[in-house]
Amino acid sequence: MISNALENYKVKKYNSSQKEMWDNFVKEAKNATFLFQRDFMDYHSDRFVDYSLLVFKGEKLVGLLPANILDSELHSHQGLTYGGLVLSKKSTFAETIVIFKSVLTFLKSEGIAVLKLKLLPKIYHQLPSDEIDYLLFLTNASLTRRDITSCVDNENRLKIKSSNRLRGIKKGVKNELEVKEEAKFETFWNEVLEPNLKQVHNQKPVHAVKEIKLLQSRFPKNIKQFNVYKNDEIVAGATIFETSNLAHAQYISANEMGRQTGGLDFLFNYLLEHFSHKKYFDFGIVNENQGMKVNKGLLHWKETFGGRSITHDFYEVKTENHQLLNDIYL
């Protein structure tokens, strides 16, 4: 019985003395990225009340949940793009049931009625890891949001056939644009990204330049900046978050000169080739209004590079529904 197995499992709230243990588990997990390491999660610890959980079987760590608490609800950490239950490569379906039930039971005992999860998109998995999808189904979880993200499968990469993209790439060549990978972020942030976001959307990037510099200093192999120049003047750029099996475009932007000279078409033609050794290239989401609207122009631009859609799902589950996992086997 699953309820009997619970006796061997304990859930504990994370504290800083467990940092090394946490990070080592993340590095070897089947469904995690560097965003789950504490040096990434904790850079904005002043904005969130951390309530991350560790699950132990005896003395052995078997699962993690990066999380914060807000208004008596537990969230997959709101400072991260994605989250969910982090599992070992050795985790079986049977053990995952007990891990998830242990988490829900613990939260219920702590007076937390609702768990809100945003799942890790499947292209980020090291091994198949859909156990949580099925367990959310069994616990009557509600799908509260669904985004689509556009990605290129480099093992089955589509050729760029769009006349607009090909024309943009040629325009970049004609204008003698040059792509440079750089260690500094100030030029892109100050001269392209921030002015463009303010003008077009009246918004700021999620990360201030000081924050992205800090994160890059902690994860130099994972966070990279590519800028496009015309005669030594920046015209476009992209910030790439690189994991073991994909490259994700975290920020994409061009100024007026970049738009006139084909800066982004030229840049992403370069990046797709530069990261062709990765399994996927992730262009990022194309949604607004909590997933209810699609930016048609942005989606079209990404699809003309060969991007195709996958989903990024958000769920809400009542912690009392842990009881629905008591007897699921025939």
Q: What is the pLDDT of residue 200?
A: 80
Q: What is the pLDDT of residue 201?
A: 80
Strand ranges for the chain from DSSP E: 9-13, 49-50, 53-57, 60-65, 67-70, 73-76, 86-87, 114-118, 142-153, 178-182, 223-230, 233-242, 246-254, 280-285, 287-288, 293-294, 308-318
The 10s digit of each residue's pLDDT in 141-161 is 999 999 999 999 999 999 999
Residues 278 and 246 sit within 8 Å (Cβ to Cβ): yes
By DSSP bridging, strand 293-294 and strand 114-118 are unpaired
| Cα distance from N-terminal residue to C-terminal residue, the chain | 12
Under CATH, domain 158-275 is a member of which superfamily?
Gcn5-related N-acetyltransferase (GNAT) (3.40.630.30)
- Please tell me whether residue 291 adopts helix, strand or coil conformation: coil
Q: Tokens 């049977």 correspond to what residue?
A: 94
Residues 317 and 141 sit within 8 Å (Cβ to Cβ): yes
Residues 267 and 249 sit within 8 Å (Cβ to Cβ): no
State the Cα–Cα distance between residues 129 and 310, nearest whole angstrom. 16
Which residue type does 8 have?
N
Q: What is the pLDDT of residue 329?
A: 87
Q: What percent of the chain has pLDDT over 70?
A: 99
CATH of segment(s) 2-147+314-325: 3.40.630.30
| HEC assignment per residue over 25-67 | HHHHECCCCHHHCHHHHHHHCCCCEECCEEEEECCEEEEEECE
CA distances (Å), origin 54, targets 13, 23, 25, 87: 6, 12, 10, 11
Q: What is the pLDDT of residue 3?
A: 63
- Please tell me whether residue 14 adopts helix, strand or coil conformation: coil
> Please, which residues have CB within 8 angstroms of residue 202's CB and are 6 or more apart in sequence?
none
Give the residue ranges of the chain where pLDDT is below 70: 1-4
The domain locations on the chain are 2-147+314-325, 158-275
CA distances (Å), origin 322, targets 13, 56, 116: 19, 18, 14
Can you read off the two tokens belonging to residue 16?
Answer: 């800083």
State the Cα–Cα distance between residues 145 and 257, nearest whole angstrom. 36
State the Cα–Cα distance between residues 290 and 10, nearest whole angstrom. 35
Give CA 131 to chain center in angstroms. 19
User: In CATH terms, are 2-147+314-325 and 158-275 the same topology?
Assistant: yes
State the Cα–Cα distance between residues 25 and 1, nearest whole angstrom. 27
pTM: 0.94
Mean pLDDT for the chain overall: 96
Q: What is the DSSP letter of 324?
A: G
Q: What is the pLDDT of residue 7?
A: 82
